[in-house]
Amino acid sequence: MQVATRILVCAVVLVVLIGGGQWAAAETPQQDGLAAYEWHGAGQLTRRDARQRLRFLQQHGFKTVYLDLGDYLDAADQPESRKQRNRIRKLRRDLRRFVADASRLGLAVHAVGGGPTWTDEPLRYLGSKLVELVADYNADVAARERLGGVQLDIEPYALPRFFNNEEAALVAYLETLESIVETYRRMARHLELGFAVPFWFDGRRGSPGPVPFQAATKPAIHHVIDLVKDLRGAYLVVMSYRNFAKGADGSIVHARDEFRYARSIGAKCGLVVGQQFGDLQPPKVTFHGHDRHDFESAAEQIVRAFRRFRQFRGLSVDDVDGYTTLWQRDAVVQLHGGTSTAAGRTGAQPRTLGIMLN
């Protein structure tokens, strides 16, 4: 069975986690700095290419890489055979090398996986299986090769049938996440645990309304926060996809309810504001085609809006390839004397996002 780790065009996510003295030591997340989702599996990149990408992240202030483990999960989910064992052996070797190379650069690596069908009854075990797989892997490798966390990106709404019965689909989604959290509590508390969730799960602006779950009726995203509210190592990536921060339809407004609810219940988990860089429609959901100044300006506005919440863990930026292209385009513009970037306008050297937000 092929496990789809992604249907939507979301190749890579960069997560900006804000440091500073606003949290006491006990409140500070284990992650800090910038993190990047790498949707190219460790075995899909040559070691040279992987090292180049890791060096780019390290040079631009990143601290964590979220690596797609779909191929590894696919292999582990096959009937045992010599071919299956050989494939797992190779995938583990590739994974160990990737993590070790990242560790040498000071980068932590977290596993990531998910698929829109993972809430179907026959496939609900896959999320828990991924958590177990990461825990088992860590038990058999050297410290520098260990994964630091696992994130689930389960998006059932990518399939049209989700909207045929939204309440039932959301309950299935919540039951799936509940099972994953139970597995995590039982055997993987040493890891970080994350879930990617769309902002419109908050039940506002014509989105699916409150749903009954665990003897309470409330918006789905509130239920998700409840599931991990006592876990300091857990977080939600709220995919608040807009290429502008302010206004009635901006990313700040779309993420505000989640922060207010998390604060109201004293949640210990974190919230990350997701941003998009892929080539998607409508144009307002992505920074694709914009220059770096547009994103930096929006990012600063988001930080100012949410840094007062102790749950704030920063920003996530989708599509590392798009982000890299942005830097390359800026370099070309500067080479030819253009002024489409902040650096071009001021004559200053471009800042990394990590430097800007810290």
Q: Give the pLDDT score at 24.
A: 28
DSSP 58: H
Q: Give the pLDDT score at 340.
A: 39
The vertex-272 CA angle with 3 and 229, nearest 5°, equals 85
Question: Is residue 355 a part of any domain in this protein?
Answer: no
Structural contact between residues 176 and 127, judged by C-beta atoms closer than 8 angstroms: yes
Phi, psi (5° rounding) for residue 274? Answer: -80, 140
DSSP string, 203-240: --TTS---EEETTEEE-HHHHHHHHHTT-TTEEEEEE-
Q: Give the pLDDT score at 330.
A: 63
What tokens were used for 77?
């989910």
What tokens were used for 309?
């919440």
Q: Give the pLDDT score at 329.
A: 64
First to last CA, the chain: 44
Q: Give the pLDDT score at 331.
A: 58
Q: What CATH number has the domain bearing residue 76?
A: 3.20.20.80
**Helix, strand, or coil (residue 37):** strand
Residue 4 CA to residue 2 CA, distance in Å, equals 6
Cis peptide before 282 (omega within 30 of 0): yes
Question: Is residue 228 a part of any domain in this protein?
Answer: yes
Angstrom CA distances, 5 to 40, 46, 96, 118, stand at 11, 20, 20, 10
Question: Is residue 87 a part of any domain in this protein?
Answer: yes
Q: Give the pLDDT score at 321.
A: 77
Q: What is the domain count for the chain?
A: 1
Angstrom CA distances, 122 to 4, 50, 119, stand at 15, 35, 8
Structural contact between residues 302 and 344, judged by C-beta atoms closer than 8 angstroms: no
Furthest-apart CA atoms within the chain: distance in Å: 62
Q: Give the pLDDT score at 337.
A: 52
Q: Give the pLDDT score at 59.
A: 85
Amino acid code (one letter) for 35: A
Q: Give the pLDDT score at 335.
A: 43
Residues across the chain: 358
Question: Is residue 7 a part of any domain in this protein?
Answer: no
Strands 216-218, 33-38: pairing is unpaired
Residue 166 CA, chain-centre distance (Å), reads 24
pTM of the model: 0.85
| Backbone Cα Rg of the chain | 20
DSSP 22: T
The residues near 283 (Cβ < 8 Å, ≥ 6 apart) are 243, 289
**CB crowding 336-350: b at 16 or more within 10 Å, else e:** eeeebbbbbeeeeeb
Among 137, 59, 54, which residue's Cα sits nearest to residue 95? 137
Question: Is residue 82 a part of any domain in this protein?
Answer: yes
Strands 149-152, 108-113: pairing is parallel
**CB crowding 267-288: b at 16 or more within 10 Å, else e:** bbbbbbbbbbbbebeeeebbbb
Question: Is residue 336 a part of any domain in this protein?
Answer: no
Other CB atoms within 10 A of residue 41 CB: 19
Q: Which domain holds residue 303?
A: 13-320
- pLDDT tens per residue across all 358 residues of the chain: 444 443 333 333 444 443 333 322 223 334 445 677 788 899 898 999 999 989 988 887 778 788 999 999 999 999 999 999 999 999 999 999 999 999 999 998 989 999 999 999 999 999 999 999 999 999 999 999 999 999 999 999 999 999 999 999 999 999 999 999 999 999 999 999 999 999 999 988 778 889 999 999 999 999 999 999 999 999 998 999 999 999 999 999 999 999 999 999 999 999 988 888 888 899 999 888 888 889 889 989 998 999 999 999 888 777 777 777 777 766 554 545 554 333 332 233 333 444 334 3
Q: Give the pLDDT score at 212.
A: 97
The residues near 7 (Cβ < 8 Å, ≥ 6 apart) are 115, 116, 155, 158, 159
Residue 16 CA to residue 299 CA, distance in Å, equals 10
Question: Is residue 112 a part of any domain in this protein?
Answer: yes
Question: Is residue 261 a part of any domain in this protein?
Answer: yes
